[in-house]
A and B are shown apart, each in its own frame.
Chain A
């Protein structure tokens, strides 16, 4: 328990700014995606192991709550992927660019690219959710 407290105070108290926030976001989005992935592999296996149950899975996926979760998931994967490219590029090709100044700028660039990918995707997904679940835009 004291371990958890140390972790949380470390996460909130450490003032590493952009590099620290990127680390936290990378970790949280990664854990979110892998949790969903484990569920997703198992629910997709219903298509083979219990096809009649897969309709129930689809009903859950079409619910408003899952629709909102899906929009969050898309953000998580986009962020984790774009920030992952930054990490791979710096580690494998340009290790000398791991400086505070440069990583601060690249951390913002990652956020901008993520938003450019996510905002239109989220907009279209929310449009579809409102259309199918709330009968808007002509149902």
Chain B
């Protein structure tokens, strides 16, 4: 019998949201290594919270390069994080209806906080400083 020698058959499955999310978690995670590590090492370790002032924050977020950096960080980090929370809930909520409700709540929380962050990043301009 040559059962073991047989190559596994490749089958195509219709991609659903969670398959895309699974991939997105890995790709966004890799992207977040330079983005999130860079942000944290610079602000928490190198600069340090004692050197950060409102003027420093305004000046930084008004700079185009940092604005773009922060927009990417906001989009990828918080999306990655909230989908992670959703995956944790999935492990404990087995009722599909309950899980849909929890997912919807998490989606709204994600959207509201992301919009608040995006407004902040987009609205801050150099004139606000002093």
Contact = CB atoms under 8 A, between A and B. Distances in A.
A7 B93 CA distance: 12
A61 B114 CA distance: 22
Nearest to A63: B49
A42 B30 CA distance: 25
B45 A85 contact: no
B126 interface: no
Contacts, number: 106
Interface of chain A: mostly helix, strand, loop or mixed = helix
Interface stretch (A13-21, A29-37, A97-105): A29-37
The size class of the interface chain A forms with chain B is 35 or more
Given A30-B84, A38-B78, A81-B32, 11 more contacts: A7-B92, A31-B85, A34-B81, A34-B84, A42-B116, A45-B117, A48-B119, A74-B44, A81-B37, A84-B32, A85-B29
A92 interface: yes
B33 interface: yes
A58 B52 contact: yes
The size class of the interface chain B forms with chain A is 35 or more
Nearest to A91: B26
A70 B92 contact: no
Interface string B71-108: 00010011001101100100010000000000000000
Contact of A88 (B30, B50, B81): B30
Interface of A: 3, 7, 27, 30-31, 33-34, 37-38, 41-42, 44-45, 47-49, 51, 54-55, 58, 61-62, 66-67, 70, 73-74, 77-78, 81, 84-85, 87-88, 91-92, 121, 124-125, 128, 132
Interface of chain B: mostly helix, strand, loop or mixed = helix
B123 interface: yes
Given A7-B92, A45-B116, A125-B44, A62 B49 contact: yes
A49 B37 contact: no
Contacts of A37: 77-78, 81
B113 interface: yes
